[in-house]
Amino acid sequence: MKKVLLTLLVIVTAVIVYSCSDDGQGSAKFSLRLTDSPGDFEEVLIDVQEVRVSFQSDGEETSWITLNGVVPTVYNLLELTNGVDILLTEEELPVGTISQIRLVLGDNNQVKVDGQYYDIKTPSAQQSGLKLNVHAELEDGLTYKMWIDFDAGRSIVEKGNGDYSLKPVIRTFTEATNGAIKGVVSPIQTRAYIHAISENLDTVSTYADQETGAFLIRALDQGEYKVKFIPEDDYLEKEVEDVAVNVGVVTDLGVIELEEKVIVE
């Protein structure tokens, strides 16, 4: 089976646990979770086969390790939105340094549009093995928690005639070093597309949930944001200015009411 390598950017945080390895050098737990920013599709299916890390223990040469806890699974990313995530793996590794990480995908990557499934093509560059340098120091007795935020809405590119390709847009975060914005869009049928825009114009986006209208935008740096709501037809756009985001805090905007367009004949 052909495998595809998907680049991950990983930020590490640590919380205390108690463990040690049999060789006396110590060990750390490595925890990796998958989440998603919603896209305007019915399903986005990603075939996760393996997670590999480039690892170096003290005094040893760097080597690639395939994490044993990953079960090959096709995930529907749109089930992992607005605060929902899933554990990919959690296992103990020796004390040392992770310098690179990559996610290995299988062939069964699809998108569902209007009840029809279409294969997602992957760029040739990914097939050659894109990977990203990171620096994660695994220390004795610590758990390192990582979240992969796969932005389905921006990662799936439609080229027409049922031709879709994967151009991965991925954020990673730790809730210990970021904040979040949440709320509820009303009416629910507006199916609003929501942007959190920072002072330096960095933008993080999501869709309101189709059944509840709720939204959650995580992994935001501390600062002031403009939150822009772009509904589907028949409703007016809306902006909320000067939304404060603080580390470790979820800022609640409450219910955001969107108004219908007034048609003048």
Q: Going edge to edge, which strands form the sheet with 250-257?
A: 214-220, 179-186, 250-257
- pLDDT of amino acid 167: 79
Third-level CATH fold of 179-257: Immunoglobulin-like (2.60.40)
Residue 127, classed as helix, strand or coil, is helix
In sequence order, what are the beta bridge partners of 185?
256
Number of Cβ within 10 Å of residue 126's Cβ equals: 18
Q: Where in the chain is the domain with CATH 2.60.40.1120?
A: 179-257
- For 69, phi then psi, to 5°, come to -80, -5
Number of Cβ within 10 Å of residue 172's Cβ equals: 20
Q: Six-digit token pair at 122?
A: 């992957």
- pLDDT of amino acid 116: 92
- 237 HSE (CA, 13 A, CB side): 8
Residue 72, classed as helix, strand or coil, is coil
- pLDDT of amino acid 25: 64
* Bond from prior residue into 187 cis (ω within 30 degrees of 0): yes
Give this prediction's pTM: 0.63
CB 226 within 8 A of CB 239: yes
- pLDDT of amino acid 117: 95
CB 78 within 8 A of CB 86: no
96 backbone φψ class: left, alpha, beta (φ>0; ψ -120 to 50) = left
- Reading the chain (265 residues) residue by residue, the pLDDT tens digits are 444 444 333 333 333 333 334 455 677 778 888 887 767 788 989 888 888 888 888 778 888 888 888 889 999 988 888 778 888 888 888 888 888 778 888 888 899 998 999 998 876 544 444 466 667 777 767 677 777 777 777 788 888 888 898 877 777 665 455 688 999 999 998 989 999 999 998 888 888 988 899 998 877 888 999 999 999 878 999 999 999 998 778 899 999 999 998 776 6
Helices (H) and strands (E) in the chain, counts: 2, 22
Integer Cα distance of 56 and 135 in angstroms: 11
Number of Cβ within 10 Å of residue 142's Cβ equals: 22
Q: Where are the alpha helices (DSSP H) in the chain?
A: 124-127, 152-155
